[in-house]
Amino acid sequence: MSWAEWVRRESERIRGAGQWRAPRDLDGAGPEGKLAPDGRAVVQFASNDYLGLTQHPAVVAAAHAALDRWGAGSGAARLVVGSRPLHTELEAELATWKRTEAAVLFPTGFAANLGALTVLAGPGTLVCSDELNHASIIDGTRLSRAEVAIYPHRDLHALDRLLADRGRGRRALVVTDTVFSMDGDLADVDALVECCAKHDALLLVDEAHAVLGPEIEDDGVIRVGTLSKTLGALGGFVAGPRRFTDLVVNRARSYIFTTAPTPADTAAALAALRVVQSSEGEILKALLRANIELLAPGHPSPIVPVVCGEERRALEAAAALLERGILVPAIRPPTVEPGTSRLRVTLSAAHTPDQVRALCDALIEIGFPIEPAEHAGPGISP
């Protein structure tokens, strides 16, 4: 079969399954914008800019200043001549924020997970991974060449059995999201820390969506994070004990063999981190929490799934919202399991209460009201 024929067949297979996708340009800053191709005005509830920091004046000004001083790019990998004072400064402040000895900066959160997992896991290691972990964790475990055991979502009893049965003298690593990206539910971090301590296993957590917690107190946990969600910029990091982060610097291919993050992105993240740690940051978190309470009282995160079931229902629901000027894309296989297609609503401190109320009213109109989280549980459905 020729390459042209193979590409044609693969494309037809995706189209035939009704899963062909393409980006749509949104011309706007913050929740409001104009959506291609017709330029209709929409309010979007799909961004991960949880605190609205992509538009914060101090963040934007810091990026401008870095552009003026250092230019558009870093020009090389960190270990060559790509490291700038900003990179080192941001790493120090990330470590302070996470209460760890050190942090290592990566170009993206995806690259951070690949780097951490391929360094810390490997042949002879058992990696125990929650079944709903992010794609970057899945890819990192595959590339690590470790034996990977998938445990049922948040099932600590199953995890305990996997660790107990792994065999004497075998290293084990447990990896989990702290806030799961499709359901918006939380890992029981305290119980995971206890389980790992019991079995002498290393715990690695991805805190990409943990703008409101959960908090982690154990300084031996390896923490992976992103600069593109809570901080509204671009990049990722690995934080933890220095003996681990130093090894990551010397072994992680996604750190060693890639150009350093741009000065503008790094400066923006540094400015955003300072906002988050200030009194203004607490106000923004309170605004975000208030918006969550308007939409889904008691839900623990700004990710609120409205499970529709079949793909057709999710697409129809998204189209009905769009007719009302509200953009919430349908999430469907292969991103989620068949039968769990959904609207993935994400809230921001930048949304106004009126915008959130309009979303609530629209969901009721199209037949998908959101119940309080204590009744509906993870994966909120009507």
Question: Strands 236-240, 102-106: parallel, antiparallel or unpaired by DSSP?
Answer: antiparallel
Helix (H) or strand (E) holding 253: helix 253-256
Judge whether 157 counts as a catalytic residue.
no
Cα atoms in the Cβ-side hemisphere of radius 13 Å centred on 217? 4
**Each residue's pLDDT tens digit, 51-72:** 999 999 999 999 999 999 999 9
pLDDT tens, N- to C-terminus, the chain (382 residues): 999 999 999 999 999 988 899 999 999 999 999 999 999 999 999 999 999 999 999 999 999 999 999 999 999 999 999 999 999 999 999 999 999 999 999 999 999 999 999 999 999 999 999 999 999 999 999 999 999 999 999 999 999 999 999 988 899 999 999 999 999 999 999 999 999 999 999 999 999 999 999 999 999 999 999 999 999 999 999 999 999 999 999 999 999 999 999 999 999 999 999 999 999 999 999 999 999 999 999 999 999 999 999 999 999 999 999 999 999 999 999 999 999 999 999 999 999 999 999 999 999 999 999 876 543 444 444 4
127 and 146 Cβ atoms separated by less than 8 Å: yes
d(CA 201, CA 171): 7
Tokens 């309080």 appear where?
372
Which among 98, 134, 209, 351 is annotated as catalytic? 209
Residues recorded for the chain: 382
Tell me the β-bridge partners of 303. 346
Q: Find the radius of gyration of the CA atoms of the chain.
A: 21
Whether 229 is catalytic is: yes
CA distance 152 to 135: 16
pLDDT of residue 244: 98
Q: Residue 7 has what DSSP assignment?
A: H
Instruction: Report which of 127, 216, 134 is spatially closest to residue 183, judged by C-alpha positions.
Output: 134
The pTM is what? 0.95
pLDDT in tens, 15-39: 998 889 999 999 999 999 999 999 9
Describe the strand order of the beta sheet including 102-106 as a list of residue ranges. Answer: 102-106, 236-240, 222-226, 202-206, 172-177, 126-130, 147-151
Q: Which of the 8 DSSP states describes residue 338?
A: T
Q: Of the residues 56, 98, 229, 299, which is catalytic? A: 229
Q: Are 227 and 234 in contact (CB under 8 A)?
A: yes
- Among residues 129, 136, 181, 341, the one annotated as catalytic is 181
**CB count in 10 Å sphere of residue 82:** 17
What single string gives the DSSP state of each residue in 15-75?
Answer: HHTT-------EEESSSEEEETTTTEEEEE-----TT-GGG-HHHHHHHHHHHHHH-S---
Is the Cβ–Cβ distance between 270 and 109 less than 8 Å? no
DSSP 211: B
CA distance 378 to 90: 34
Distance CA 134, CA 112 (A): 13
The span from the CA of 265 to the CA of 16, in Å, is 40
User: Residue 80 has what DSSP assignment?
Assistant: I
Beta pairing class for 26-28 and 303-309: unpaired
Question: Hey, what domains does the chain have and what are their CATH numbers?
Answer: 24-50+302-376 (3.90.1150.10), 57-276 (3.40.640.10)
In the block, tokens 């919430």 appear at 328
Chain segment 236-283, per-residue pLDDT in tens: 999 999 999 999 999 999 999 999 999 999 999 999 999 999 999 999
Q: Is 134 a catalytic residue?
A: no
